[in-house]
Structure 1
Amino acid sequence: MSQTIAVADVGGTHARFAIAEIEDGTVVSLGEPITMGTNDHASFQTAWRHFCEVNPGDEPKSLSVAFAGPVDGEVLKLTNNPWVIRPALAQEKLDVEHFVIVNDFAAVAHAVGALGDEHFDHVTGPEGPFPDDGVTTIVGPGTGLGVAQLLKTADGHMHVIATEGGHIDFAPLDSLEDKILQRMRRDLRRVSVERIACGSGLANIYEALGAMEGKAVPDLDDKELWTRAIEGKDPLAAAALDRFFLTLGAVCGDLALAHGSNAVVLAGGLGYRIRHLFRNSGFADRFIAKGRFERRMEQIPVKLVTHPQAGLFGAAVAFAKEHA
């Protein structure tokens, strides 16, 4: 039996909506997404109404949402955006019969469990398919730093565990990073890894490096700074990008150790944008640099998911599992 549902992927910067088709508990298609800036709408409800207005055909009566924040309260607030969702009122306010909400990186974990090998690029570690059982850690730099776990059991079942692993403490690993942390503590009481290993984290590193060299850095928006860093025309921005990769590699390795993982998946729009830079960065060296556990770390495959809308796809997978 097939079913048409709407799916949404709501982050700190963008909200994406699409129509998905589910059949026998499997996602068989995902329509072209409609992307909106979260700053362009007063609430999730008004963004949803806009999607319904611009989407041709009958309004869907089922909605599954991937939400960038914890989803276990009566009032859900985005970590990096003022929108709130009240799950108990969602069916009434949104005029839907079925409503599912999952953490955004839990949704990506659902997608990772359902996607075929062709949707992943190798980054480091052993090549080949993922292990059939055990824990896969999913990490994604974007507006923030998303983290989730996917547990595969020997009998073929999969369990998704949402986390807030992006908010663990930033741990400097050399004298330069000591200085970056010291600089950032002037403005922040606590510096989490999300302050470094995310889209806006590049600006934090850039400003700190500039201060160390006594240089006034230009006030650039994130898009322009990332362009400068990727193109390498701004030496300080390029140095900041090097540090970004080092930190991301270190935190991915730390999370793999903490989770007991046998695989790691990089996700998120930013990760996809810079996928061609991973192999020549310091990511792999920092990932395995875990002292007595280096040999173990060398055996962990790290891949990058290439599905263009893993959050939306994962929201559909989560809905299919709940209503199978």
Structure 2
Amino acid sequence: MEPKNKINLFLPGLQSDSNNNVSLIAADLREKVTILGHYKSENQKVNLLAEKSYATKDFNSFSEIANQFIADHALENIDMISVAVPGPVIAGKSQPQRLKWILDEEKIKQKTKVDKVYLVNDLEASAYGLQNVEESDFVKIHDGVTFTPGNVVLLAPGEGLGEAALFWDGQGLRPFATEGGHCEFSPRTNDEVEFYSFLQKIYGIVSWESVLSTGGLFNIYRFLRDVKQQKQPDWLTKEIEADNFTEAVIRGAIENKDRICKMTIDTFLMYMAREANSLVLKMKATGGLYLTGHIPVMLEQFLTNKKFYKNFIISDKMENILADIPIYLVKDEKTILNGAALYAAFYQD
């Protein structure tokens, strides 16, 4: 197989003939919208044949969504289903915090009549999906020169804060999930102590997800508005009422429309650089940092202006290592869906 990029994953079933011509459904399960794709494996890759999105809240279970997708596309003889879930997967089960469902591989098998069902953490799936990204969809934020190959990490602020890593075993990269987004946030400056106190009154325990996510972005904004007394412009009030805050505040910063928009995005990017720093150091990710998801893609022009990198390398003793870590923005927003398909098709030998 001709790789689309230089990501070299550990996929033990890639060479197996039994994994050729497999018909499968992959799903990217999210709080608001769930995306499903019908794939077929061929020549050591997966090809997307059909795709459709569904409003998650309109269904009582994932199995209902899967069966609806099968009916909508008149699919037959599906060999497997792979579901990327926004939470930990333990022993074939998951109970994502932002969903009302308990997911169980065995129950999904029964209700969909599909013999093989896999649940995989969404950021672990995204790590697998890196292999399917075109080289042109990697935006270089910083070009590391010293350490590759090595461990790799993914940071994905979205509806939650996703974090995953890929362990370099000497020959290939082995993705694994983490729940690092739920580690506690810690303030550095007096203003950040004030921000922490603001969040503590709301959440009790303040996690990094309370700072780096769509909800976290709004937390930063309302701290600046309600505590730091920054004015909320009328146009943004309308966008908030229309549930368009994330896109609107980023657009406001890009267009330099109002001070509070720029302050919000600058603060968010600073925190993103700090958490990226911590993730890289904890995993000794000398192979690189990859920023994925809708929010980083929207923030591309801010990520590539060197300010993010300068905040990223601030450290007590590790600046010499951090300075040489390659950093990429992943513009392909289907890494979760594609990765779930790759995992199902080729992880099993």
| TM-score normalised by the chain length of structure 2 | 0.84
- Find the counterpart in structure 2 of residue 62 from structure 1: 80
2:118 paired residue number: 100
**8 Å contact 1:113–1:158 — kept in the other structure?**
no
1:277 offset after TM fit, Å?
2.5
**Which stretch has the larger CA shift, 175-184 or 226-235?**
226-235
In structure 2, the partner of 1:223 is: 244
- The alignment status of 1:302 with 2:327, answered yes or no, reads yes
Please tell me whether residue 140 in structure 1 is matched to residue 156 in structure 2. Answer: yes
Task: Return 36-45 or 305-314, whichever deviates more.
Answer: 36-45
- 1:210 Cα deviation after fit: 1.3
Query: What CA distance in whole angstroms lies between the structure 2 residues aligned with 1:125 and 1:287?
Result: 14
User: Structure 2 unaligned runs (5+)?
Assistant: 1-19
User: Is the contact made by 2:93 and 2:119 (CA closer than 8 Å) also made in structure 1?
Assistant: no
CA distance in 2, matches of 1:208, 1:221: 20
User: What do residues 103-122 of structure 1 show as CA deviations (whole Å, max 9, x unaligned)?
Assistant: 00000111224545333111
Aligned counterparts of 1:72 and 1:62: Cα–Cα separation in 2: 19
Is residue 78 from structure 1 mapped to residue 96 from structure 2 by the alignment? Answer: yes
Distance in 2 between the 1:37 and 1:323 partners? 31
1:257 maps to 2:276: no
Offset, 1:278:
1.1
Quick check: 1:3 aligned with 2:22? Answer: yes
Provide the C-alpha distance between the structure 1 equivalents of 2:196 and 2:241, rounded to a whole number of angstroms: 21
SS in 1 for 2:342: helix
SS at match of 2:329: strand
- Which of 188, 195, 198 pairs up with 2:203? 188
Aligned-pair RMSD on alpha carbons?
Answer: 2.3
Q: TM-score, normalised by structure 1?
A: 0.91
Q: After superposition, where does 1:135-214 map in structure 2 within 5 Å?
A: 135-154=151-170, 156-214=171-229
The 8 Å contact of residues 6 and 19 in structure 1, kept in 2 or not, is answered as yes
In structure 2, which of residues 243, 258, 270 is the aligned counterpart of residue 246 of structure 1? 270
Aligned to 2:59: 41
Q: CA deviation at 1:257?
A: 0.3
Q: Which moved more, 1:184-193 or 1:223-232?
A: 223-232
Alignment partners' CA distance in 2, 1:238 and 1:281: 16
SS in 1 for 2:151: strand
CA–CA separation in structure 2 for the residues paired with 1:288 and 1:277: 16
Give the letter aligned to residue 20 of structure 1: Y
Q: Percent of aligned positions with the same letter in both sequences?
A: 23
Residues 230 and 238 of structure 1 are in contact (CA less than 8 Å); yes or no, is this contact kept in structure 2? Answer: no
Structure 2 equivalent of residue 17 of structure 1: 36
Gapped runs of 5+ residues in structure 1? none
Q: Deviations over 1:37-88 (max 9, x none)?
A: 2222222122112211222443623111111111105642122221221122
Q: Cα offset for 1:91?
A: 0.9
Aligned residues: 320
Matched residue of 2:244: which SS?
A: helix
2:55 is matched by which residue type in structure 1?
Answer: G
Q: Please list every run of at least 4 consecutive aligned residues from structure 1 whose deviation after the TM superposition is greater than 3 angstroms.
A: 113-119, 214-222
Q: Which residue of 1 aligns with 2:292?
A: 267
**Secondary structure, in 3 states, of the residue corresponding to 1:159?**
strand
Deviation at 1:284, TM superposition (A): 1.5
1:246 CA displacement = 0.5
| Contact 1:71/1:103, CA 8 A, preserved across alignment | yes
